[in-house]
Amino acid sequence: MQVFRGFRHPGVAPACALTIGNFDGVHRGHQAMLALLQTEARQRGLPSCVLTFEPHPRDYFAAVTKKPDLAPARIGTLRDKLSELAACGVAQTIVLPFDGRLASQSPEEFIQNVLIDGLGVRYVLVGDDFRFGAKRAGDYAMLDAAGDAHGFDVARMNSYEVHGLRVSSSAVREALAEGRMADAHTLLGRPYTISGHVVHGRKLGRALGASAPGKDDGFRTLNLRFKHWKPAASGIFAVLVHGLSEQPLPGVANLGVRPSLDANDVNAGRVLLETHCLEWPSHLGAEGAYGKIVRVELLHKMHDELRYTSLEALTAGIAKDGRDARAFFASTHAETHRQTTRDRI
């Protein structure tokens, strides 16, 4: 999949079949829409294209109005969004910066400047609640009329449901906020994962729980840091880590701001996904994970972030979380074995 920041690039296809949206989470509703887009694009001999926005429009308006609560919790990072769009077979994605200029465009200007002149649309597919342009004044009827006037087809897709539940980014956010990871899995059509580059931190974890002073063999962690990110999930999770070995590694992870530590440390109070692998790969040594891209699969929420009053209490808490994560994986393995045995009978 080709990715472009904006549409003024020579590599952007001169004509396309397009869908527009934020696609936070790329859930099963999004996947159904993208499958329909692929079909329509093939029938027309056009590349499929997604137009998405960064930052999220609500992030922009939250900053402008100085009302941070307006910003939605984010299901995924831009990296994860693009990865999932590529997995759905999208040929190109245009990431359009959402700024004051775009926010002030009238619906008519958006159609002319972005859809027609910028992307050469021949087919546009939108959701049933699609709105666009300044003050969200544009709707499906306006887009459909513009298609008739300018020679491109317009279609909309109704809500996608699973077991009678409307699949939406809001529903995924709610499931993640409540720690209902199995429900999030159902809505997403896959386990909930977060990926990123492993970065350096304070290296405090390796000292906590060390076998002896100076040994640095305690709770070594993989740190993924997210600038200006408000995650839909938070807390302590049993996880699987992909990308460090042939098989995924079981672990325990803290997703949040680490309330027990100084907010002025190297993390600077930003969101961090801090993962301790229960069995550290020996081939990596102490420093071998830095710079690698890993994908952390959040399987089971154990509890919310806790504030510990001392490093000793923090060490004990991390140790307990590790034991609880091991117990979770042991029970999961036992249940899988029982299911396999039943299937064979």
Q: How many CA atoms lie within 13 A of 335 on its CB side?
A: 6
pLDDT of residue 165: 82
Q: How confident is the model at residue 153 (pLDDT cuts 50, 70, 90)?
A: very high
pLDDT, tens digit, 9 for 90 and up, residues 173-185: 999 999 999 999 9
Handedness of CA 26, 29, 34, 35 (dihedral sign): positive
- Length in residues, the chain: 345
Mean pLDDT of the chain: 87
Q: How confident is the model at residue 218 (pLDDT cuts 50, 70, 90)?
A: low
Greater pLDDT, 52 or 288: 52
Q: How confident is the model at residue 312 (pLDDT cuts 50, 70, 90)?
A: confident
Q: How confident is the model at residue 265 (pLDDT cuts 50, 70, 90)?
A: low
Strands, E assignment, 243-317: 249-256, 271-277, 293-303
Q: Is the confidence at residue 304, as pLDDT, over 80?
A: yes
**CA distances for 82 relative to 50, 65, 86, 107, 195, angstroms:** 10, 29, 6, 26, 11
> What is the average per-residue pLDDT within 154-173?
91
Alpha helices for 13-96 (secondary structure H):
28-44, 57-65, 78-87
Q: How confident is the model at residue 202 (pLDDT cuts 50, 70, 90)?
A: low
pLDDT, tens digit, 9 for 90 and up, residues 63-115: 999 998 888 999 999 999 999 999 999 999 999 999 999 999 999 999 999 99
pLDDT of residue 38: 97
> What is the average per-residue pLDDT within 134-145?
95
Q: Is the confidence at residue 261, as pLDDT, over 60?
A: no
Strands, E assignment, the chain: 2-5, 16-20, 48-54, 92-97, 121-127, 153-157, 161-162, 165-166, 192-197, 222-226, 235-242, 249-256, 271-277, 293-303
> What value, to the nearest 5°, has the Cα angle with vertex 281 and ends 275 and 287?
70
pLDDT of residue 205: 52
pLDDT of residue 212: 47
CA 71 to CA 56: how far, in whole Å? 8
> What is the average per-residue pLDDT within 321-333?
90
The percent of residues above 70 in pLDDT, for the chain, comes to 86
Q: Which two tokens stand for residue 159?
A: 């809500």
Cβ atoms of residues 170 and 27 within 8 Å? no
CA 344 to CA 69: how far, in whole Å? 52
